[in-house]
Structure 1
């Protein structure tokens, strides 16, 4: 019985990165052997055990055989006779197929160390094509490390897409991998890889069609809508924004992909089209509610936010109400962050101030000074017809908020307030 450190923990250690979790493979042992030593079984589909003291995962060496389509269509075989090399051979990429023994010696049968040093993502064997999730994982690792795909691996991924393997992916797994990729350092790399192998057109066609769609050059020096979206999500990553913010940034211009070519480069009404496309995409890949709701708000209102300095106080008050800023100020902050990513995701704009967001924050602070409860209590004493009371309260609260916003934005010192917020 021998134990080896394997996979991502060895990879990250060799890259000089923090190691979050340690994964071990055990060669020459049976499930009964592990339980006799006090390990606790937890694996559902194959023998995985928790260490009795550290609770770290120890898996018995195993092989896998494809028996049906999809990422679950595998038959697992494990026995004390399965070797370390056989276990490493079933893994996806050479950089994930490196092991280290208890003395610190590196075992690298597939030259993963060389690929780490060269910054290459290369599949271990043709068995890579048996699991479509590996396409998403390879793209995610490109986003994490900035590595390039080996030509033969990219060709294999293209074949997998052409053969329909990607169509067998379950929605929840697609979202899981996309979400993890969005949280990487350079999320655009994931989408460029998926597009290069054809997978993006199958799992997110609404995003894929944005590439090649022009925008007005005076507002978008990058011109290409797809390139703009990639720049915007990379900006979101550079600011360490949350997953909902990054996803909303990815979604905000989907409607531009449906603009008739004869109307290019203008995209009148794209916000409304973006809402419908975003809603359908979120339903299809099971996007969580917090990310979906923020994406829908940003799709609808990002244009209004960009025009914040032109909006009347009444329009500002109504927008704050529509995005539920009074009840959910934290989400409103994320809403403004996504709009800022849209603004900054253009050549030459990364360092420019986005004063529109500060203006709306000031407006919200002003409107929050209105005591809606006190107004409701006051009106309940004087309005005789109770059926008219809700509308009366709404109108008076709205008028009071407009008054506060008007006074702050038109009569206050915006620069002074901005410095107080920073």
Structure 2
């Protein structure tokens, strides 16, 4: 089976960071051949399978076609003739579009290693615009990687501003937005999440009442840096935050609101 390690595991290895999970891309297989090998499919229509022993995710190499608004408006093509390079082209950032072959060879058709060296968060292609959640993912990555000197590429910022101006963020589900916020509040520099949103004109829309200057303390030393505690700190330091409106926009857990 022709498999490649992809995404965060490759990126974090190159950055010298701990690997939290490993994801794989499989080239030249079909859903039936994966099932015959003992893999279990995740979801009815999504071409991702769990390894019978490790339970790691193995995704068939695929093309994606946007056919409706929102993150569910995609059609997948998993023809076994799809190449690894085609699969990598649909990814969000160049630093996430690097694959590693079983012999250790790195496949990097979009300049991800150079962007890692230059500390740049840069979109792979204009297909970035097909999923507006990528704006929040971009902000969340900046919150995670700011300490290593990363910044968002100017052209990526421009692209995000165009998406915001079109109203693309209106299609996001509450659950997906909250998940990215939770990741950002778990990162070393949560204020960068809000700074990136401000830079693309999305902060007021997504977090009405949050003042960018009042997010800096989220990065400082504290007795509790858990996401719920940082959220509580965000609320306390931003008295104009529309918490009721924010709760309608995000799927905030009840225990977060009770802190």
Contact preservation (8 Å) 2:185, 2:226:
no
Retained in 1: the 8 A contact 2:7–2:99?
yes
What corresponds to 2:31 in structure 1? 31
Taking the aligned partners of 2:29 and 2:235, their CA distance within structure 1 comes to 49
Return the alpha-carbon distance in structure 2 between the equivalents of residues 186 and 44 of structure 1. Answer: 37
Deviation of 1:280 after TM superposition, in Å, equals: 3.3
Q: Work out whether residues 279 and 292 of structure 1, in 8 Å CA contact, stay in contact via their aligned partners in 2.
A: no
- 1:246 deviates by 0.2
Greater share of residues in strand: 2
Query: Contact 1:140 / 1:180 at 8 angstroms: preserved in 2?
Result: yes
Which of the pair has more CA radius of gyration?
1
**5+ residue gaps in structure 2?**
none
Q: For the residues of structure 2 that align with 1:242 and 1:21, how far apart are their CA atoms?
A: 20
Q: Determine helix, strand or coil for the equivalent of 1:198.
A: coil
Partner of residue 188 from structure 1, selected from 188, 191, 214: 191
Aligned positions of 1:211-226 closer than 5 A: 226=212
Alignment of 1:143 onto 2:156: no
Matched residues in 1 for 2:208 and 2:45: separation? 33
CA contact (8 A) 1:27 1:60 kept: yes
Q: Is the 8 A contact 2:4 2:26 kept in 1?
A: yes
Once residues 54 and 129 of structure 1 are traced to their aligned partners in structure 2, the CA distance between those partners, rounded to angstroms, is 34
1:18, distance to aligned residue in structure 2 (A): 1.0
| Greater helix fraction, Structure 1 or Structure 2 | 1
Q: Which has the higher contact order (CA 8 A, sep 6+)?
A: 2
Question: After the TM superposition, which residues 23-422 of structure 1 pair with which residues of structure 2 at under 5 Å, given as runs?
Answer: 23-146=23-146, 147-207=150-210, 210=211, 226-227=212-213, 229-235=214-220, 239-255=223-239, 257=240, 277-294=242-259
Question: How many Å separate the matches in 1 of 2:14 and 2:22?
Answer: 14
1:5 and 1:99 in contact (8 A); partners too = yes
Structure 1 counterpart SS, 2:68: coil
Runs of 5+ in structure 1 lacking a partner? 211-225, 258-273, 295-422
Q: Write out the 4+ residue segments of structure 1 that deviate beyond 3 Å after TM superposition.
A: none
Helix, strand or coil at the partner of 2:5: strand
Whether contact under 8 Å (2:188, 2:219) holds in the other structure is yes
**Separation (CA, whole Å) in 2 of partners of 1:191 and 1:280:** 17
Counterpart-to-counterpart distance in 2, 1:43 and 1:106: 30
Residue in structure 2 matched with residue 360 of structure 1 by the alignment: none
RMSD after superposition = 1.4
TM-score of the superposition, structure 1-length normalised? 0.59
